[in-house]
Amino acid sequence: MTARTVFFLSDGTGITAEAFGNAILAQFDIAVRRVRLPFVDTPDKAHQALRQINHVCETEGQRPLVFSTLVDREVLEVIRTGCHGMLMDTFATFVQPLEQELGVKSLHRVGRFADVSQSREYHDRIEAINFSLAHDDGQSDRDLQSADVILVGVSRSGKTPTSLYLAMQHGLKAANYPLIPEDFERRQLPPALLAWRHKLFGLSINPQRLAEIRSERRPGSRYASLENCRMEVSEAEAMMRRSGIRWLSTTTKSIEEIATTILQELHPQRLGY
Amino acid sequence: MTARTVFFLSDGTGITAEAFGNAILAQFDIAVRRVRLPFVDTPDKAHQALRQINHVCETEGQRPLVFSTLVDREVLEVIRTGCHGMLMDTFATFVQPLEQELGVKSLHRVGRFADVSQSREYHDRIEAINFSLAHDDGQSDRDLQSADVILVGVSRSGKTPTSLYLAMQHGLKAANYPLIPEDFERRQLPPALLAWRHKLFGLSINPQRLAEIRSERRPGSRYASLENCRMEVSEAEAMMRRSGIRWLSTTTKSIEEIATTILQELHPQRLGY
């Protein structure tokens, strides 16, 4: 059985079509070949997209799957009329019932990023990314009062990717600060953080997993040894408990899962919800 | 008219429910209050979520909207039976027709990030983030041969957020390199990049917009002056044309739009599609 071709069709970036389509496809144990068709925002481009979709249908002898988030009426009409693939018109399915429920007509407007350079939300998001970069790995103590979240944990517990994700996806200013042997000897959180305890969130990790991750970088080092990883993790967790800060284990979690949990627990004020 | 409450309900992170719901809501000119309900993966948690949803229905006197990507059958049953909100069961709508089309049953498995620490794809994504951080702003010339993409452009043209996004969302090793007055005098791309022309992608920007962005950081500086921004942009664009590298203007584009365009143009090899 050849892989099924899947198109993600959108008048914008197609990111929503792709995320949604992939989540649905994860429910099926089948091989797929993915093709992005973004920025299909004119009838001309719709006809081009149709040719590509229908060509696959002919040459592969099975209908490609087409996840669409098209909103432009004219473009949608071209696709609906001529598409030989299995069209999953994800928006249309819900827009009409919502028009009824809300008692207003939908705008049929493309994408949510139009005039992005004028948007406050977008501006804040870029600021958050810059902040998180400048405050990665305890690089700077400056301006921690404007941080929304400060992640703490031992080296390679997942702080950097999580901070960047929180900034990129949620516009949060997320600093991160390593817990190091000096802190363990002093038996206290890094002094710069003591004033911001309510914004702290700890990341911990299984020592075996940590040793694996560190060994990729510095094989055979004391830093990566299981013994040292056990000690650091145990000291770090003891410190988080003593300090009463919330924390979680990242061992089997994705960045997305870690970030979602932090948002649930910390309810950062700047977040819209 | 009070804002309509919208729930994003999922047995995983809810990121797909949220992205999908927000994209649909962008089609309506209404005020909304958003509530995330992630990790609803047991009937008990489903009953808790129901109480929260139905409470809003009572106190606000209008049905909340509920975007769900639930896949667990038991959880879904609890919600379907008891939900007083307007339930948009986004997966169910497409899973059944897909089962018919594909001739296989769906797995009803939660999330796509299970056992993430064991996944090669996830490992590569974290590696890509580390690479992009280490190669931000021309910090390192080392290992550029393993870069998937190298962005070039004047300071504040959008290179850093775009590189991090490409790494975070697409697992691409995205380096970025500033074009500076020295390069303009030499009338050549930075020497370290000459061997990697096929991976280069240029970002440019409208000089007025650039002056605004730079002025936020260094108001009144020569760096931020319109005159200097005009000169740098004009030199950079001339250099990109001479070098025959692809480029775009980021002025009115979001990170997502820039990244999608780069993927379309460059077709990086490591990308699955």
What stretches in chain B show pLDDT beneath 70?
A: 1, 110-115, 117, 268-273
**Binding site for ADP: residue ranges of A?**
153-160
Among B94, B116, B164, the residue with its CB nearest the CB of A168 is: B164
Q: Are the Cβ atoms of B107 and A133 closer than 8 angstroms?
A: no
Closest listed residue to residue B73, CA positions, set B51, B115, B41, B113: B41
Q: What percent of chain A has pLDDT over 90?
A: 85
Overall fold of domain A117-266: Rossmann fold (3.40.50)
Distance from CA of A88 to the nearest CA of B (A): 7
- Residues B135-148 as b/e (b if ≥16 CB within 10 A, e otherwise) read bbebeeeeebeebb
Indicate the domain borders of chain A: 4-102, 117-266
pLDDT band at A270 (very low <50, low <70, confident <90, very high): low
Distance from A186 to chain B by nearest Cα, in Å?
A: 30
A182-229 pLDDT, tens per residue?
A: 999 999 999 999 999 999 999 999 999 999 999 999 999 999 999 999
Whole-number mean pLDDT of chain A?
92
Q: Which residues contact B125 (CB under 8 A, 6 or more apart)?
A: B167, B168, B171
Q: Which residue has the tokens 């957020």?
A: B161
| pLDDT for the residue A189 | 94
Contacts of A130 in chain B (CB under 8 A): 160
Which pLDDT score, from 0 to 100, does residue B266 have?
Answer: 86
Q: Which of B86, B54, B101 is nearest to A94 (CA)?
A: B86
Query: Which DSSP string corresponds to chain A?
Result: -PPEEEEEE-SS--HHHHHHHHHHHTTS---EEEEEE----SHHHHHHHHHHHHHHHHHHSSPPEEEE----HHHHHHHHHH--SEEEEHHHHHHHHHHHHHTS-------S-TTGGG-HHHHHHHHHHHHHHHTGGG---TTGGG-SEEEEESTTSSHHHHHHHHHHHH---EEEEE--HHHHHHTS--GGGGGGGGGEEEEE--HHHHHHHHHHHSTT-TTT-HHHHHHHHHHHHHHHHHHT--EEE-TT--HHHHHHHHHHHH--TTS--
What ipTM did this prediction achieve? 0.91
- The CA distance from B115 to the nearest CA of chain A, in Å, is 6
Residues 6+ apart with CB under 8 A from B168: A161, A164, A165, A168, A255, B125, B128, B129
**CA nearest to B271 within chain A:** A34
Task: Please list every residue in chain A whose beta carbon sits closer than 8 Å to the beta carbon of residue B71.
Answer: 27
Assigned fold of B4-102? Rossmann fold (3.40.50)
| Contact check, Cβ <8 Å, B29/A104 | yes
Strands A247-249, B4-9: pairing is unpaired
User: Does the distance separating the beta carbons of B102 and A28 come in below 8 Å?
Assistant: yes
For residue A27, the chain B residues in CB contact (below 8 A) are 71, 91, 95, 98, 106-109
Cβ–Cβ gap A102/B4 under 8 Å: yes
A38/B97 CB distance under 8 A: no
Average pLDDT over residues A28-55: 95
Beta-carbon count within 10 A of A234 CB: 13
* Residue A259 banded pLDDT, cuts 50, 70, 90: very high
Amino acid symbol at B267: H
Whether A61 shows a pLDDT value over 60: the answer reads: yes
Average pLDDT of the residues in A31-36: 94
Residue B251, pLDDT score: 95
State the pLDDT at residue A119. 84
Is A205:A179 a contact under the CB 8 Å cutoff?
Answer: no
> pLDDT value at position B113?
47
Contact yes or no for A252 and B115 at CB 8 A: yes
| Model confidence pLDDT, tens digit, residues B108-147 | 776 544 567 678 888 999 999 999 999 999 999 889 999 9
Q: Which of A22, A34, A252 sits opposite B117 (nearest CB)?
A: A252
